[in-house]
């Protein structure tokens, strides 16, 4: 698997992007920095961080996710914009702008937030434009990290308890926009044979990062979640319609009825026929 190296991009060509971020922060009196998709800091912090004591402490501890999630509690204005590399169709991270709400220039409600969003939008476009030039000059391979397939990752997926996956769906909760979009796409396309590559590309993430993010946010691997959703819908169809088991299998994108029946039993403990015929079974 491969992942885009945002840190290599920022440091490329004698740190062109880093110098631009630093100069922009100084000129516009904001604090800027770049995070990867996991929320890890991939650049230095540019601009004056001394206007807010708590902000300075968070910056010192590199606790940038705390700023993202709780900036209002810390009296900070905050905005960010996703950075997308068009040549690979992936979001690789986000540029962030922060400023203390204690500034005397912040009397107009909402003005600072709008200004920070405008700063982020400008920096996003700037970074993406320069990135295209750097990639054209140096080649996309310069900025890609190749990861070996980890045995631990395979074991983690095997350890998913299939017969508990349906219960996990009931309590699933995430605020991550990429995962919410992925789940919506899956739910709208349960009749298709979806793959990890297809879904990750829909939310502009690499399959490597998307796989890890999906497991972190849902507590289920992509494949287990997908099958659980298909079986959950199959349970409803079996109880509420007279469709044959073969028709249900086809409606949910299974290539063979035998595989559908096998998967159904693995997730529910019953064959499709047993489930349909047992009136007391709850969905």
Indicate whether 106 pLDDT > 90. Answer: no
Distance between CA atoms of 42 and 45, rounded to whole angstroms?
9
For residues 98-111, give the mean pLDDT.
69
Provide CB contacts within 8 A for 139, sequence distance 6+. Answer: none
Q: Which has the higher per-residue pLDDT, 230 or 55?
A: 230
Q: Which two tokens stand for residue 250?
A: 């086809």
Residue 93 included in any domain? yes
The pLDDT score that the predictor gives to residue 280 is 47
Number of domains the chain contains:
2
Q: Which has the higher per-residue pLDDT, 230 or 277?
A: 230
Q: Domain check: are 137 and 178 in the same one?
A: no
Q: Domain check: are 24 and 48 in the same one?
A: yes
Q: Domain check: are 217 and 271 in the same one?
A: yes
Q: Domain check: are 257 and 175 in the same one?
A: yes
Indicate whether 24 pLDDT > 70. Answer: yes
Q: Domain check: are 224 and 93 in the same one?
A: no
Q: Could you list the residue range(s) of the whole structural domain that residue 156 is in? A: 151-277
**Integer angstrom CA distances of residue 269 from 204, 225, 263, 273:** 36, 17, 10, 12
Among residues 86, 114, 144, the one where a domain terminates is 144
Q: Domain check: are 130 and 174 in the same one?
A: no
Q: Domain check: are 134 and 170 in the same one?
A: no
pLDDT band at 1 (very low <50, low <70, confident <90, very high): low
**Integer angstrom CA distances of residue 76 from 6, 35, 50:** 26, 18, 12
The pLDDT score that the predictor gives to residue 156 is 53
Indicate whether 98 pLDDT > 60. Answer: yes
The single residue listed with the structure tokens 């709008």 is 114
Residue 283 included in any domain? no
Q: Which pLDDT tens digit goes with each residue over 119-175?
A: 999 999 999 999 999 999 999 989 988 766 554 554 455 456 666 788 888 888 888
Q: Domain check: are 167 and 252 in the same one?
A: yes
Q: Domain check: are 134 and 219 in the same one?
A: no
Q: Domain check: are 123 and 160 in the same one?
A: no
Q: Domain check: are 7 and 123 in the same one?
A: yes
The pLDDT score that the predictor gives to residue 168 is 81
Cα–Cα–Cα angle for 52, 57, 63, rounded to 5 degrees: 115
Indicate whether 249 pLDDT > 90. Answer: yes
Q: Domain check: are 128 and 23 in the same one?
A: yes
Task: Return the H-helix or E-strand segment holding 79.
Answer: strand 76-85
Q: Which pLDDT tens digit goes with each residue over 88-97?
A: 889 999 999 9
Indicate whether 109 pLDDT > 60. Answer: no
Q: Which pLDDT tens digit goes with each residue over 190-225?
A: 999 899 999 999 999 988 889 989 998 998 999 999
Nearest one of 173, 189, 202 to 233, comparing CA atoms? 189
Residue 282 included in any domain? no
Q: Which pLDDT tens digit goes with each residue over 62-74?
A: 778 888 888 888 8
- Which CATH number characterizes residue 140's domain? 3.30.450
Distance between CA atoms of 229 and 172, rounded to whole angstroms?
12
């Amino acid at each position: 698997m491969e992942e885009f190296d945002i840190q290599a991009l920022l440091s490329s060509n004698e740190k062109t992007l880093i110098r631009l971020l630093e100069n922009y922060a100084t000129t516009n009196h904001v604090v800027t920095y770049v995070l990867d998709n996991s929320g890890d800091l991939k650049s230095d912090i540019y601009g004056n961080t001394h206007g807010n004591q708590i902000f300075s402490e968070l910056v010192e501890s590199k606790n940038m996710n705390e700023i993202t999630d709780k900036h209002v509690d810390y009296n900070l204005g905050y905005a960010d914009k996703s950075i997308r590399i068009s040549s690979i169709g992936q979001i690789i991270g986000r540029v962030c702008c922060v400023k203390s709400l204690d500034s005397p220039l912040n009397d107009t409600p909402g003005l600072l937030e709008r200004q920070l969003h405008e700063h982020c939008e400008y920096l996003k476009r700037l970074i993406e434009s320069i990135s295209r030039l750097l990639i054209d000059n140096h080649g996309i391979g310069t900025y890609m990290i190749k990861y070996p397939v980890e045995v631990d990752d395979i074991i983690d997926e095997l350890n998913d308890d299939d017969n508990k996956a349906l219960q996990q769906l009931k309590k699933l909760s995430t605020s991550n926009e990429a995962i919410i979009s992925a789940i919506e796409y899956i739910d709208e396309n349960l009749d298709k044979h979806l793959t990890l590559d297809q879904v990750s590309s829909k939310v502009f993430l690499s399959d490597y990062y998307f796989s890890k993010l999906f497991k972190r946010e849902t507590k289920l691997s992509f494949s287990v979640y997908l099958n659980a959703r298909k079986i959950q819908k199959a349970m409803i169809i079996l109880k509420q319609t007279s469709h044959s088991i073969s028709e249900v299998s086809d409606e949910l994108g299974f290539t063979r009825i035998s595989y559908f029946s096998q998967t159904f039993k693995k997730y529910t403990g019953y064959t499709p026929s047993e489930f349909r015929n047992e009136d007391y079974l709850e969905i």
